[in-house]
Every structure is written in structure tokens, then in C-alpha cells.
């Protein structure tokens, strides 16, 4: 994103808006307030481990270094994720960001919070319900974590409202209107009433609440009207619930004639209730919305049919407990109390009153408006220079050895889709094996796999049925592929298969050769345009052999501890190898050969990895962590993590690539793959990191890391207390963010490749 210098030299993720609620402190300070013995200087002075040792003078207490078991050193996973959402929200407020892109970021923060309540708050509530009182690594019980999160969420909601109000006002200045019913003229009211009657009213089903009609089931994320009306004189008021049919062919915002003018569908419904309740006297109409828990654990241990288990879990999720009730601010306390009681919620903890529209995620509808001047300049991914050739992709890979592709800067279609398309049609290809975690409903990936199977190629696909919120889609894809003759398996019981890997076995002129792709992102054509990811194509024999071993494990579940030559595979070896490499870096660190570790990932949550990084930093190793969201580690703690810096990149694309770098006394190592440093990834998922050994490709990775570490536009620096400060470019510094720079570099590579090609063909042969 091209941007002007920000007016304020520092923008913190801590809420500074005067209308926002104050933020809660971190776990260490919360515990101190509750009577725990915690140093007030936790962020500056690390706790010290002390042991008793006998001396000639008697027994003495001896300091042995930082106490890495202290909860003071570990930030809350939940709170650091919420801070990430606060950074995303900052993009919605940043005047350097085009207006409709700001609308997009506002919508994203709404959907992010929805997922946070479904998964994180829902999971914590399950623990509370089960009577769990164990403290997490940050020293908080599940109940304390919920309280801490709720305090932060309420501050985000207050800031969301302020930003949304500003955005709506600025949209109005650009002649994009979000209207209330009272702002419509008589003719416009007639128009929207006619639209509602024809296109929405047939989808609406009012449900009364009385002794004959118990309170109805409220589905997850549904927008609802709670209506109170009098039907007959001298009779008590009637209560009814109406589900607003958003997503059932009805958009959230109805267009009003005369330009880009819109009115929320619930506004139209609440002012035309006479169509639903003819002759009734409507006393009140309130909008509310619910969120249900999505944290369910598949019962796999005794499962004969994993597919049936997942389908059962999906059905149970529909009826999972409600974890959040959103209402309009100003709702009558009696009606709000009645609704809260019917849903079995805690009115002080589970109810959130909003001053503006509910379900901000629906603002994404406005982003589709044809207003190019209010959006980022269109981005067109380029073909990878080495894949721009017309000859067989297998011949290209055989000649090059390895190719590194970077999405969304380089196209998904001319790399991964082409790889599978040519494999499906090449008579020399004998087998295609791949893992599939998420993909699009109408995916060329699946079409190419089916085409290959129809052509007689052996095709085996490991479909992960437990990919969060894509379970139903993956079930349908699996069934479709099985019908086409593809060998579909669902992985290993008890483990999610999160690795992104394709293996193609082809008979070349010199025998069978294995072609492998290892990626950091899903094989998904849509998210490949939205997420920043990496993919390695290689014909390395050792990686090919490792890929064969990995697929044999996935299709049989036999012998988790297989031998791999180059791939680092979880859950068997990856975590152990990362810990060894961190410890090796600390052991090799000298003034002449300084140690250096760089990790780029989505999250750092695993405590063992965090401790190892603390130990390495304590020895003087320089550590750069580019962490998108959750991060337990406190950087910059004097005497412990002085040499660690943590930055977060928030920009046009979602940062999703994982890179692991170790200087290794000059014998540099680079790895890419699907795994984050989270306990679930390292111990409960099948993951794979692949080494990038080509010096040419290592230079590409070094370029990415250097650009992101020096980003002055889109980067945020984490402080020891867990808060973030946004960087801003100085007068003589690069004004473009790292993502804009990477777009430019990809385009330059593509132009150079075309120029070189023309020059090569344009040379005349000497007579």
C-alpha cells in the first residue's frame, strides 16, 4: 500500500480513543492485583532461579540464571491474539489506507471476533464448565482468562464503533450512503417495501413465544428481531422472534434507488412488521445476534468411520451452547433480561450492547462496489520467470532442480495448478499424491485430480476432514473424488494433517523421478490471491524419498517415527529438531561468529520453543521473530531477551508464510513449511518443513526476511509488556510497506525475464 507519512509519529495498539474503555493489564499484573507475589518490574527484570548450595561457610543461595518456569515471562495467547485484531482495526482507522479497504479491515475485525468467541472463549467456557482450575503458562485460570479477554474485547468494540462511525461519515462524503429508515422519502419507503415484499418476505418465518410455543432455537451468527406486540385488547403482550434471512439469497444491505445508497435489511423489516402481524399493535422491536461455541473434540479413539464421526460433530456444533449475545444499546432492560434468561447466559459477562449495527462482518458487501479510486490499485500476480516457458513443467524442474514460488506475488494458476494439470495429462506420470486441507468449492485442483484418475493415473489424496469450518466442504469433496476413482484417506487417527505437500512420480528418460511441492499455504485458488505464502518445487532425491515415507505413513498410520533424510516432520521429529537447532545456535555463538535466528510464522505459542529462544538470547544470540498474531514471548527484557525483537506485519495480504533461519556459524540453514511454533502444530498435527538448500533460492528468502525486518510502513514492534508500537517511515526512509515492495520486485523479475527472452531470440547468428 502506497501511503503518505502518518501524522502521528507513533500509533500504539493500546486504545487511546477517549471513548474507549481502559485496557486490562497483562496476566502478571492481574495476578498481583489478586494477591499473587509478582514483581512490578517483571518486564524489565526477569525472575531469577535460585538453588541452595553447600559452601565452607554453610548453605548459600546461588543464582543460576533466569527462572524460565515463571509465568511472568509468558504472555497470554488469547490477549496477544486480540492485540493482533487491534492492529487490523488500526488499518480501518488509518487515513493512508483507501476508504473501501478500510471498510474491508473493519469487516475483518468483526469476523475475527466472531471466530475468537466461537473457538477461544468457547473453549475456555468448556473448561470452566468442566471445573478446570489449572493455571495456563501465563499463570491464569480459565475463568481469569475469560475475564481478561472480555475486558479487552469491550475496549475493541468501543473503538470499532468510533471507527465505524467515522467510516460511514467518510463514505457519505464519497456519495456512498448507509441509511436509516427515517432518512428515506415516502417514495423510497414505498420502493424498499416493495423490494422486501417480493424478495425477502417469502423467506421470513415469525415464531411466537408462549406456553404453546417454547422459545425457538437460535442459530449461530443469526441476526434476529425480538418483537413485542398486542394482538387483542385486555390480553398480555405477545413476544415473537424473527430471523433476518441474511445469506439466504438476501443481502444485508438493500440498495435504494439513486446511486450507491443502502439500507440494512433489518431496518426495512422492523418498519414493515404489519406485513407479518396484520392489525397488531407493535410495542417494541429489538435486534439481537448470537454466537455459539465451535470447540468440539471429535471422538476418534473408537471410531470405525471417521467420516461419520465428523458429520456427527458438525450436527452437534449447530446446537452447541451460546457464548455471546449481542444486542442494540438501549434495549429495554426487562426484554434484555428475558432474552438473556431464555438463552441461559450471564448478563454481566455474556451480553454485549452495541451502539451501531451488529454483525460488522457484513460490511464486506460494500467492498464489492465498483469504486476503484477508493480501493488499492489492482494487483495482478505475475508468472514465475522460470515457469513462463512453454515447455513441460517437469523438464523445467528437472533442469532447474528447485524453484521457489511466492504467492500472491506470483500466480497460483501458472505454478501449482499447472503442475497438477500437466501431471494429469502426461502419460509418463504414474502417480499423484497430495494432502488437501482447504480448497475452493469449485476448484481446478480437484478437477485436475479427477482428470488424472480418469486417465488411469494412480491418484491418492489425504483429505483433512477436521479443517476448522471447512469440514462439510471437505466431506463433499472427498465423496466426489472417491466417486471418480481417487484413493481418498482421512489421515491418522488423533492427528490433524496440516502439511501442504504434493508428490508426482514420473517416468523420465533415466527412470522414475519424484517431483515434489512443499508449501506454506493451502491449495486454494482464492486465498492464494489474499494470503502471502511460499512454495518449493524440487526434484531433490532425498526430499522425494521423504515425501514417499510421509504419504505411506498418512495412508496407513503405521510407524510414526519413520526415518526422514531432509524433511522435518511433526509430530515425530520437528519440535525436537527445532529445539536442537536453537540450542546449537547458542552453543556456536561467539563474538567472531555471532549466532542469528530468524523465524517468520503466524504464532509463537509453544512454551518449550519460547524457553529455548530465551536461553539462546541469554547467551547473546540475535533473534528476529516476525510473528503475525499470538506471541507468548516478551522481547527486550533486560538480562534475558535483550537481543530478541518481535515484529508483526499487517497489510493488504494476510501474512501466512513460515520461514525458519539459522546462521549456524556461517553454514546457513533455511526451512519453509506449514508449521507454526504452536503446541498443537508441533505435537498434535502432521506437519512438514523442507530445507531450501539452493544458494539462489536462499537469496530470495533472505530478501523477504530483510525487507520485512526493515519495513517502516506495515510493521509493528512488540514491547516487553506485550503492547505494540507501529513503525512510521522517516523523511528519507522507504515509504512503501514490505508487501508493496515485494509486488514491485516480482514485477521487475517478470519484466527482466521477458526482456532476457526477447534478447535471446533477437540475437543474430554470426555468419
CA separation (Å) from 215 to 256, 270, 660?
35, 20, 53
Strand order across the 176-178 sheet: 176-178, 260-264, 253-256
Q: Degrees (nearest 5) of the Cα angle 652, 657, 658?
A: 145
| Residue 747, Cβ density class (10 Å: 0-12 exposed, 13-18 middle, ≥19 buried) | middle
Could you give the CA distance from residue 640 to residue 637 in angstroms, rounded to a whole number? 6
Q: Which three cell numbers stand for residue 80?
A: 496477544
Separation between Cα atoms, residue 421 and residue 689, nearest integer Å: 25
Task: Select which of 448, 498, 524, 589 is catalytic.
Answer: 498
Which of 697, 731, 729, 732 minimizes the C-alpha distance to 710?
A: 729
Beta-sheet pairing, 654-655 with 659-662: unpaired
Among 25, 169, 68, 55, which Cα is nearest to 641's? 68
SS3 content of the chain, % helix, strand, coil (to 5): 40, 25, 40
At residue 758, φ and ψ (nearest 5 deg) are -65, -40
DSSP string for 750-762: HHHHHHHHHHHHH
Query: Which has the closest alpha carbon to 78: 158, 137, 9?
Result: 137
Active site residue 618: no
Say if residues 678 and 659 touch (Cβ distance below 8 Å).
Answer: no
Q: Are strands 351-354 and 487-489 parallel, antiparallel or unpaired?
A: unpaired
Angle among Cα 402, 405, 410 to the nearest 5 degrees reads 145
Provide the 3-class DSSP secondary structure of residue 517. strand
**Rounded (10°) CA dihedral 603, 608, 613, 617:** 140
Strand ranges for 357-490 from DSSP E: 402-407, 429-436, 458-463, 487-489
Cα-flanking dihedrals φ and ψ of residue 250, to 5°? -115, 125
In angstroms, rounded to a whole number, what is the distance separating the alpha carbons of residues 466 and 38? 40
Contacts of 30 (CB under 8 A, 6+ apart): 24, 140, 144, 148
Residue with cell 496477544: 80
Contacts for 370 with CB less than 8 Å, ≥ 6 apart:
none
Cα 57 from Cα 366, distance rounded (Å): 77
Active site residues: 498
Amino acid at each position: 500500500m502506497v501511503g503518505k507519512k502518518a501524522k502521528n509519529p507513533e500509533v500504539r495498539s493500546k486504545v487511546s480513543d477517549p471513548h474507549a474503555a481502559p485496557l486490562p493489564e497483562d496476566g502478571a499484573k492481574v495476578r498481583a492485583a489478586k494477591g499473587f507475589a509478582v514483581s512490578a518490574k517483571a518486564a524489565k527484570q526477569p525472575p531469577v532461579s535460585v538453588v541452595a548450595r553447600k559452601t565452607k561457610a554453610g548453605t548459600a543461595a546461588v543464582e543460576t540464571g533466569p527462572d524460565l518456569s515463571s509465568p511472568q515471562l509468558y504472555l497470554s495467547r488469547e490477549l496477544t491474539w486480540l492485540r493482533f485484531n487491534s492492529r487490523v482495526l488500526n488499518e480501518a482507522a488509518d487515513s493512508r489506507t483507501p476508504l473501501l479497504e478500510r471498510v474491508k479491515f473493519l469487516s475483518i475485525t468483526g469476523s475475527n471476533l466472531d471466530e475468537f468467541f466461537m473457538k477461544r472463549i468457547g473453549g475456555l467456557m468448556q473448561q470452566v464448565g468442566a471445573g478446570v482450575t489449572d493455571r495456563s503458562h501465563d499463570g491464569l485460570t480459565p475463568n481469569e482468562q475469560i475475564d481478561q479477554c472480555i475486558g479487552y474485547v469491550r475496549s475493541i468494540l468501543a473503538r470499532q464503533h468510533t471507527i465505524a462511525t467515522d467510516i460511514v461519515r467518510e463514505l457519505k462524503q464519497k456519495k456512498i450512503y448507509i441509511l436509516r429508515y427515517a432518512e428515506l422519502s415516502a417514495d423510497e419507503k414505498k420502493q424498499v417495501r416493495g423490494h422486501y415484499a417480493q424478495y425477502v418476505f417469502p423467506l421470513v418465518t415469525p415464531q411466537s413465544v408462549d406456553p404453546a410455543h417454547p422459545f425457538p432455537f437460535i442459530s449461530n451468527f443469526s441476526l434476529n428481531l425480538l418483537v413485542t406486540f398486542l394482538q387483542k385488547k385486555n390480553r398480555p403482550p405477545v413476544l415473537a422472534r424473527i430471523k433476518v434471512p441474511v445469506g439466504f439469497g438476501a443481502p444485508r444491505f438493500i440498495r435504494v434507488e439513486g446511486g450507491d445508497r443502502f439500507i440494512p435489511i433489518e431496518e426495512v423489516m422492523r418498519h414493515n412488521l404489519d406485513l407479518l402481524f396484520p392489525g397488531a399493535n407493535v410495542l417494541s422491536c429489538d435486534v439481537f445476534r448470537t454466537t455459539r461455541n465451535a470447540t468440539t473434540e471429535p471422538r476418534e479413539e473408537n471410531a470405525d468411520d471417521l467420516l461419520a464421526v465428523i458429520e456427527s460433530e458438525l450436527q452437534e456444533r449447530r446446537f452447541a451452547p451460546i457464548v455471546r449475545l449481542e444486542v442494540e444499546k438501549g434495549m429495554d432492560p426487562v426484554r434484555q433480561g428475558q432474552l438473556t434468561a431464555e438463552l441461559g447466559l450471564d448478563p454481566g459477562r455474556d451480553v454485549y450492547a452495541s451502539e451501531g449495527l451488529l454483525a460488522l462482518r457484513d460490511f464486506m458487501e460494500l467492498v464489492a462496489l465498483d469504486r476503484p479510486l477508493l480501493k488499492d490499485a489492482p494487483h495482478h500476480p505475475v508468472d514465475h520467470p522460470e515457469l513462463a516457458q512453454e515447455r513441460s513443467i517437469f523438464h523445467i524442474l528437472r533442469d532447474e532442480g528447485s524453484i521457489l514460488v511466492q504467492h500472491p506475488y506470483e500466480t497460483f494458476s501458472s505454478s501449482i495448478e499447472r503442475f497438477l494439470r500437466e501431471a494429469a495429462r502426461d502419460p509418463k506420470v504414474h502417480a499423484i499424491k497430495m494432502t488437501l486441507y482447504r480448497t475452493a468449492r469449485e476448484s481446478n485442483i480437484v478437477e485436475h485430480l479427477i482428470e488424472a484418475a480418469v486417465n488411469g493415473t494412480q491418484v491418492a489424496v489425504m483429505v483433512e476432514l477436521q479443517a476448522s469450518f471447512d469440514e462439510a466442504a471437505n466431506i463433499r469433496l472427498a465423496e466426489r473424488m472417491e466417486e471418480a476413482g481417487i484413493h481418498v484417506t482421512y489421515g491418522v487417527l488423533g492427528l490433524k494433517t496440516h502439511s501442504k505437500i504434493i508428490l508426482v512420480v514420473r517416468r523420465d528418460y533415466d527412470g522414475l523421478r519424484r517431483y515434489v511441492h512443499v508449501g506454506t499455504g493451502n491449495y486454494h485458488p482464492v486465498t492464494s490471491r489474499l494470503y502471502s505464502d511460499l512454495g518449493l518445487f524440487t526434484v531433490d532425491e532425498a526430499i522425494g524419498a521423504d515425501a514417499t515415507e510421509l504419504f505411506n505413513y498418512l495412508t496407513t498410520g503405521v510407524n510414526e517415527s519413520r526415518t526422514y533424510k531432509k524433511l522435518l516432520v511433526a509430530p515425530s521429529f520437528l519440535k525436537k529438531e527445532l529445539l536442537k537447532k536453537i540450542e546449537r545456535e547458542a552453543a556456536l555463538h561467539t563474538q567472531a561468529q555471532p549466532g542469528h535466528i530468524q523465524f517468520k510464522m503466524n504464532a509463537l505459542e509453544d512454551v518449550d520453543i519460547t524457553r529455548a529462544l530465551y536461553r539462546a538470547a541469554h547467551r547473546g544470540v540475535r533473534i528476529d521473530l516476525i510473528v503475525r498474531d499470538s506471541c507468548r514471548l516478551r522481547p527486550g527484557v533486560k538480562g534475558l531477551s535483550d537481543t530478541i525483537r518481535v515484529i508483526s506485519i499487517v497489510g493488504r495480504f494476510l501474512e501466512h508464510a513460515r520461514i525458519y533461519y539459522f546462521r549456524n556459524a556461517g553454514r546457513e540453514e533455511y526451512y519453509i513449511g506449514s508449521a507454526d511454533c504452536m503446541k498443537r502444530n508441533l505435537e498434535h498435527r502432521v506437519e512438514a518443513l523442507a530445507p531450501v538448500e539452493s544458494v539462489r533460492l536462499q537469496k530470495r528468502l533472505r530478501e523477504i526476511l530483510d525487507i520485512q525486518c526493515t519495513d517502516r510502513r506495515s510493521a509493528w514492534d512488540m514491547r516487553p509488556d506485550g503492547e505494540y508500537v507501529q513503525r512510521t517511515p522517516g523523511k528519507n526512509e522507504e515509504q512503501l510497506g514490505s508487501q508493496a515492495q515485494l509486488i514491485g520486485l516480482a514485477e521487475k523479475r517478470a519484466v527482466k525475464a521477458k526482456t532476457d527472452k526477447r534478447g535471446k531470440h533477437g540475437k543474430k547468428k554470426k555468419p
